[in-house]
Amino acid sequence: MRDYFAVLILSLLLSKFVVGVAVDTRIYSNPDNADIERKIDKLQQKALQNILEGLDADEQAIRAAGKEPNCTRKTLSRRVEFGSMREEERKAYTDAVTCLQKTKAKTPAAVAPGAIGRQTPFVHYNAKFLPWHRYFIHIYGEALRNECNYHGPIPYWDWPKYANAPQDSLLFNGDEYSMGSNGAWDPEFPIIVFPPGSGSDDIQRGIGGGCVTRGPFKDMVVTLGPITLPNPGPFGGLGYNPRCLRRDINPDFARRWSNWTSVLETFQWQDIGTFQDFLQGVGTRAGGVHGGGHFTVSGDPGGDLYVSTGDPAFYLHHAQIDRLWTIWQGLDPKNRQYKINGTNTMNNDPPSNITQLGDFIDVGFAGGKDVTIHDILSTVRGPFCYVYV
């Protein structure tokens, strides 16, 4: 079945976190531990070396067959940490994002009248969570390049670098080179409440909640949703509902779930099922590093389970998710590159088939060709040619 119901994306797997690996939920007292950061850097370098060696072997085999490879070391693109980009590079990126927001929506108005730009939500399912978002970020990057003339790298948000005070970081300090500011203080902005029995703790207030007032997205107009936040938009959140971009940055949540130790512990798991459960926080009641990034920003639409793609920070966050998966795969490519785990429905509710490598990833109205899961499990094969540095 095609995933054409564009409003069901990114429920974060928080609504039914009642099963899975038991995870230590302690608050780490030293989120900026330099030794842990060095360990993560070493893991990334080891993974990158393995990926490049595999790429070289692919190139040799393809050329031996008399063909030209689609991806080589010379043609690789490099995804970089947002803070490592020069100011003019960051500005070029946010300019392209603003440009893309002004392009015509691909989702028909009959499906979602509020989808007037390309910041439209999409669908994800359990086993497809990682590969679907990998392809989604790729399509987003291609749109920035092809429709808004962006020539720079796709950035990622390395959460622990800024976890102590994300509101003051170069990502969210509100200068012209940032991803915009925190929202103004709004005492009426609600906590995020999950249904009774969901297995998830409510997300307490951050230090903002109001409109973003500084930076490149201070005049951004959000039109789709809200859906799960109080006072949903018209037509169940699908209707046209223009409002400001709101953020409720939460440094306490960032320090708890997005610190260096949390990221390092992601790599301890040997099988894909446990890895992706830990990444998504199954058993933690709060979403692990995946939920950590989302609810560090929170707000509207960032804190809405179904339309969080409407905040431009979403794409840096999910590039980081893809980076961690890429590192994990690269540490043992032989045993991890083509492994998936799960079914086609969230927490297998309702029960559904086991997802197969030959199943298609379909992003509906977002664009891009239908591809199999197998085709997008490597960042240097299929439609991809990129690494993280």
Domain ranges of the chain: 70-388
pLDDT higher at 318 or 203:
318
Q: Say what the pLDDT of residue 203 is.
A: 79
Q: Say what the pLDDT of residue 306 is.
A: 74
Q: What is the pLDDT of residues 156-166, one digit of tens each?
A: 999 999 999 99
pLDDT higher at 337 or 310:
337
As a whole number of angstroms, the distance between CA 362 and CA 180 comes to 31
Asked if residue 385 lies in contact with residue 51, where contact means CB atoms within 8 angstroms, the answer is no
Using DSSP's 3-state secondary structure scheme, residue 77 falls into strand
Q: Which fold has domain 70-388?
A: di-copper center containing domain from catechol oxidase (1.10.1280)
At 339, list the tokens.
């492994």
Name the residue among 79, 83, 291, 286 with its Cα closest to residue 172: 83
Instruction: Please compute the mean of the pLDDT values over residues 273-294 and round it to a whole number.
Output: 86
Q: List residues bridging with 183 in a β-sheet.
A: 212
Q: What predicted TM-score, i.e. pTM, was given to this entire model?
A: 0.87
pLDDT at 48 over 70: yes
Helix (H) or strand (E) holding 388: strand 386-388
Q: Compute the residue count for the chain.
A: 389
Confidence of residue 187 (pLDDT cuts 50, 70, 90): very high
Asked if residue 116 lies in contact with residue 344, where contact means CB atoms within 8 angstroms, the answer is no
pLDDT at 15 over 50: no
Asked if residue 232 lies in contact with residue 241, where contact means CB atoms within 8 angstroms, the answer is no
Q: Say what the pLDDT of residue 145 is.
A: 98
Asked if residue 347 lies in contact with residue 126, where contact means CB atoms within 8 angstroms, the answer is yes
Helix (H) or strand (E) holding 100: helix 87-101
58-67, 226-235, 277-286: segment of lowest average pLDDT:
226-235
Q: What is the pLDDT of residues 323-340, one digit of tens each?
A: 999 999 999 999 999 999
pLDDT at 172 over 80: yes
Q: Say what the pLDDT of residue 257 is.
A: 92
Instruction: Please compute the mean of the pLDDT values over residues 220-234 and round it to a whole number.
Output: 73
pLDDT higher at 371 or 232:
371
Q: Say what the pLDDT of residue 307 is.
A: 80
Q: Say what the pLDDT of residue 202 is.
A: 75
Asked if residue 223 lies in contact with residue 116, where contact means CB atoms within 8 angstroms, the answer is yes
pLDDT at 193 over 50: yes
Q: Say what the pLDDT of residue 121 is.
A: 34
Asked if residue 12 lies in contact with residue 296, where contact means CB atoms within 8 angstroms, the answer is no
